[in-house]
Chains A and B, each alone.
Chain A
């Protein structure tokens, strides 16, 4: 990577315009279209110079600004009717005012989030009927397997239907990292289910990366995978020489 240039990043053309207005220390109502347009174009050309992709929205706004500017220079056409088009400059001002409201509300939300995401709740207590004794005398290994399966099933369905509490953190994760993580897990466990690698607290991206990591590991001959039927869980097992002595 070469040198880095800091260029302020804007959420869109409206955001950029608000920034220019704030810099000029004027009210939204008092914008001078020709000045703002010049500055706006200047910013776009800086972006171009830095080879930054300019989203089409920025270009559309540039066209709007130029249109307003040119229409101001031209003599006003003879008023044909009272119901003419609304003044584009006034429209733009309205949009900016609307946008600013939500931008400010977003800032308010940010402050709240930084406070209230610090609240923690606890897991429900398990209420068990202690009157009943634990007897494992007639429980078989099949029962254990069935219990585990039922748990995984329950988890899957609750995942589908659940609409509440789900905390997801951004996980910047590389394929390479994920392969290392999976390898570490498989050294420990020997075998694992795909569903166990991707609990519901993870994002779709994370699931995809995990799956790619798994494919790569299959490709390298590190693991064997089995899936009994389409969409069922994938059973993953250590395979090959890689794991010898690493236990």
Chain B
């Protein structure tokens, strides 16, 4: 036990990693599924232990291979990174628990074991991404996670060949993003001679005003912006989410971009936080603010005109990412906290929405078209109930997590920008009601055109779906935990800025 606690930061990475290797060669798909679940559960268990550790120690630093930083690679878990760690662990656990039937029907038979393997590899990549404190190591994990995610997306080609093209575009853009990031890291390394994040944050101010640092910062941020699907670099996202196999959609929607946003915050505040004054990044943050506002509206408008349900949700994700980035771009404690609140909450919301939509589309074996497959909610009342709750949460109704996010985001926006920003936020969230209403109306009101299909509830998805729904409500009622941890995270991040 002591051994486990000592090695927690690496355990959450290597557990899924090693399991992914074992799973890849298993001949029996059920066994693969079982091991995937086991790995996810173990990871969750380690994450919980880590959460307890972090609440006591504030910061856990782990040195790979006993080489002390800045020479060796350091893994750090603090009050900021514990948030994405939890998101990844929980979502992976929930989504993998019901994945088997979906993969059996949506993925070519000979690829199912490999799909599980890639799933765990994605988890490992994301976990590594969150924990590593080495700027280059981060790049490696960035690529591990996004390459395996690309492969996962492409697995959806049995249902629709568009998955291949979606995966391809994701790959190309993602690779460009990652390369941009690594260019930035290279430039920083060139001027500072170190790759360790905290070491970088100390050495960059010593350089004074340096053009390389500015270029590096720009490259890194641009690269991560692609990964985080920040408008207008989001074009890969809707198709990738929509055409991926269903459980993958859930996993990606809830974790991948969130982690990228976390990295964005890490880079801006941990690495460059100390040199904030030197370079007066204020002007840059207005660009981010502008983009996030664009994302809010562009995503919403695209979602309004979208027919395919999964794609609609993906477009809505683009808009929601806009909200999250908006909070970060305020560079205040309240702003960052609000963006972390929404980071968590949106993961819960989107996971729930995707899960219910996916459950509804299972028997039809195709994507739900918001207009053509209608009245499906009547045939699957429990799933529909969960869908409604999550949709209301997305709309920001009180007693759901969506309300808390919106509340704190608007407060933060008002506190630093005055009335116009809350106005824009409210306007875009009002617009978002259009597509939410469209979905609900399509799924519930429209007369059943598909009553020939035998659509039943999917029992195995009940528990994860209801858990997510419950969490959506529970954290809407007892918001203290999320709010406090987000404020802690914001404080920890802003400690970097002097």
State yes or no: do A and B come from one complex.
Answer: no
